Amino acid sequence: MADKIYRVNITDLTTSIEDVPADWAGLGGRGLTSTIIAAEVEPECHPLGGKNKLVIAPGMLSGTVAANSGRISIGGKSPLTGTIKEANAGGTAAQMLAKLGCKAIVIEGMPKGEGWYNLHITDDSITINEESELIGKGNFAIVDTVTSRMDEKHGIISIGPAGEMKMLSANISIKDPDSHVRSCGRGGLGAVMGSKHIKFISIAPTDAKVEIADQEAFTAANRAFTKALVDNPISQALGQYGSNVLVNIINESGGLPTRNFTSGQFDGHEKISGETMYDTIVERKGKPKHNCHKGCVIQCSQIYNDLNGNYKTSGFEYESIWAMGADCCVDDLDHIAEADHLMDDIGIDSIETSVAMGVAMEGGVLEFGDGAEVCRILKEEVATGSALGRIIGCGAGSVGRAFGVTRVPVVKNQAIPAYDPRSIKGIGITYATSTQGADHTMGYTIATEILGVGGTVDPLSKEGQVELSRNLQIATAAIDSTGMCLFIAFAALDDEHCLPALIDMLNARFGISLTADDVTSLGMSILKTEHAFNEAAGFTNVDDRLPEFFSEEPLAPHNVVWDFTGKEIDTFWDF
């Protein structure tokens, strides 16, 4: 059965299921979402108006048994950045959609009235249903209610109150195998879903399997691929401590942005570190290892329980812990976990929102370190849509503008995450040049600069950084198209068997014969498609810059500033 495009027009309340155009057949994940957005969305359009579209696509290998291939990509024009946007996450949706033969869901138009809807997807239908019960509810209530309406095997893609209120950093949640949620976090695509009045999408379970052109070759390649992942020491560290293993490492490097980016080290780092988190989880009988989707062999997620041993949060990532922790000077993991849980329920990006809190602290809205007040603001202001909640829910840039703060760590209005570009310079190139605003996952130079994976580059030197970021951004665009988790990159960079095995799987899946060069070309082509969209939307090289304060305020302990010139940054696009 050939894959299909599922299309929903929310203006007319019509749906259709279409053949996949030949040009799109070889695409998946980010490659497909960005291609569809570039083809069908006017770059100048209002991101929350009827001309924007929301595109949801599983990766090329999603639905197969390939290890770590369960990422789902969601794309659109971002209301936060104004750029093209793709955000991906784990959970069950990608694998389920792929098995149903759904290559992508395209949601277009603008509802005529005030009513809200849900969508339901099966192997041969997509239906639009009125929804009222769940309006105003958080993501956990959605999962509970939809599960009791249907059963726990259904997949769910949903937005919380933040998305309904069209807050610019609203995210989209994906139910995971344990009925918790994962987030397509950045860029405010939840507001786009909210603008179309879609509260959730339910996905019918199926026994169907994804077709594999050469099953034997696929199985062999997956075995080699899995071995590369499992053997990799960084994979192993991620499995034990989660991504939060990075707190101590990045603090040691002097690149842990602290107190709204005024220092590179945090006194309280031990209290929020991956090691402390691990001990806490074990002590409270949580799970240090947990997979966000079936087939993940790294298992960087975890189940973090509260003091009483009850579930509090999962997918408790380094970047979220850094943001609410070091950046806001909150050194209590329980406050951070509570905030993480609240943000998951409200449906709002934890990086953007926490960095926004840090800017609000600098603006005098609350005190640095006041984790209890952070949680109160999330619960009583952001979740309810008070004026303060809306300022924070619209991100760090919004808080800076409202409270007259000029130390606002954003690029293209999106918050800079957990690695200070003054002392880890390569990641600054990624923040500056990314087609989607500041985002470490777009070209994770930390792998090489700090973890020594795939070579060595001195994080304090400009030497080689543009090339490093470029190579990683190209590779990432391709990986984001396969449905693979980005954490395969450590093995891919360091184990000669990993990338060939991945390519073998793609070839075996589709009966094609891609080479490594083809994969690079795909990555380049995706970046160029995205860049062209942004240029047509009015972006120029002037937007590829870090905020002024990075060049003016030396960062302790290395006392270094961001010293790339605009001209140097612009060489990124020389390919």
> For residues 294 and 376, which CB has a smaller minimum distance to a copy of itself in the complex?
376
Identify the H or E element spanning 240. Answer: helix 233-241
Could you say which residues in the range 496-555 bind a copy of itself, by CB under 8 A? 536-540, 542-543, 545, 547-549, 552
Q: Which is nearer to a copy of itself, 333 or 399 (CB)?
A: 399
Q: Applying CB under 8 A, does 115 fall inside the site for a copy of itself?
A: no
CB 391 within 8 A of CB 160: no
Residue 341 binds a copy of itself, judged by CB under 8 A: no
Under the binding rule (CB under 8 A), the answer on residue 104 touching a copy of itself is no
Helix, strand, coil percentages (3-state) for the chain, rounded to 5, are: 45, 15, 40
Stretch that binds a copy of itself, among 217-225, 401-409, 467-475, 486-494 (CB under 8 A): 401-409
Q: With CB under 8 A, what is the number of residues at the site for a copy of itself?
A: 40
End-to-end CA gap in the chain: 38
Nearer Cβ to a copy of itself (525/551): 551
Write down the residue that tokens 């031990």 correspond to. 270
388 binds a copy of itself (CB under 8 A): yes
Question: For residues 367-386, which are near a copy of itself according to CB under 8 A?
Answer: 386
> If binding is defined by CB under 8 A, does position 135 make contact with a copy of itself?
no
Question: In whole angstroms, how close is the CB of 10 to a copy of itself at the nearest point?
Answer: 15
Are 407 and 401 in contact by the 8 Å Cβ rule? The answer is no
Q: Does 390 bind a copy of itself (CB under 8 A)?
A: yes
Separation CA 560–CA 550 (nearest Å): 9
Binding to a copy of itself in span 170-229, by CB under 8 A: 191, 194-195
- Contact status: 447 vs a copy of itself (CB under 8 A): no
Residue 118 has what DSSP assignment?
A: E
Question: Under rule CB under 8 A, which residues in 27-86 are in contact with a copy of itself?
Answer: 43-46, 48-51
Q: Is 404 in the site for a copy of itself (CB under 8 A)?
A: yes
Chain centroid, CA 513 distance in Å: 30
What is the Cα–Cα distance from 351 to 395, expressed in whole angstroms? 9
Verify binding: residue 422, a copy of itself, rule CB under 8 A: no
Of the pair 99, 412, the CB lying nearest a copy of itself is at 412
Q: Token pair 């929350």 is at which residue?
A: 48
Q: How far is the CB of 390 from a copy of itself (least distance, A)?
A: 4
Q: Which is nearer to a copy of itself, 392 or 484 (CB)?
A: 392
387, 513, 517, 574: which one contacts a copy of itself (CB under 8 A)? Answer: 387
Q: How would you write 409-432 as a 3-class SS string?
A: CEECCEECCCCCCCCCHHHHHHHH
Tokens of 110: 């603008």
**Residue 460 CB partners (closer than 8 Å, separation 6+):** 423, 425, 558, 560
Q: Does 361 bind a copy of itself (CB under 8 A)?
A: no
CA angle 333, 318, 354 (to 5 degrees): 70
- In the complex with a copy of itself, which residue's Cβ is closer, 421 or 459? 421
Q: How far is the CB of 564 from a copy of itself (least distance, A)?
A: 14
> Can you say how many angstroms the Cα of residue 8 is from the centroid of all Cα atoms in its chain?
24
Rounded to 10 degrees, the C-alpha dihedral 501/215/57/303 comes to -70
Cβ atoms of 364 and 325 closer than 8 Å: no
Strands (E) across 213-361 are located at 287-290, 301-305, 311-314
Q: Which of 328, 391, 432, 486 binds a copy of itself (CB under 8 A)?
A: 391
Figure out which of the listed residues 32, 102, 165, 336 binds a copy of itself, where binding follows CB under 8 A: 165
Give least dist CB 541 to a copy of itself, A: 8
Which CB atom, from 40 or from 270, has the smaller least distance to a copy of itself?
40
User: Residue 568 interacts with a copy of itself (CB under 8 A)?
Assistant: no
User: Per the structure block, which two tokens stand in for 46?
Assistant: 């209002």
Question: Does 156 help bind a copy of itself (rule: CB under 8 A)?
Answer: no
Interior CA angle at 457 toward 487 and 257, to 5°?
70
DSSP secondary structure string, 444-457? -THHHHTT-TTS--
Per CB under 8 A, residues contacting a copy of itself are: 43-46, 48-51, 165-168, 191, 194-195, 386-388, 390-391, 394, 398, 401-404, 406, 536-540, 542-543, 545, 547-549, 552, 566
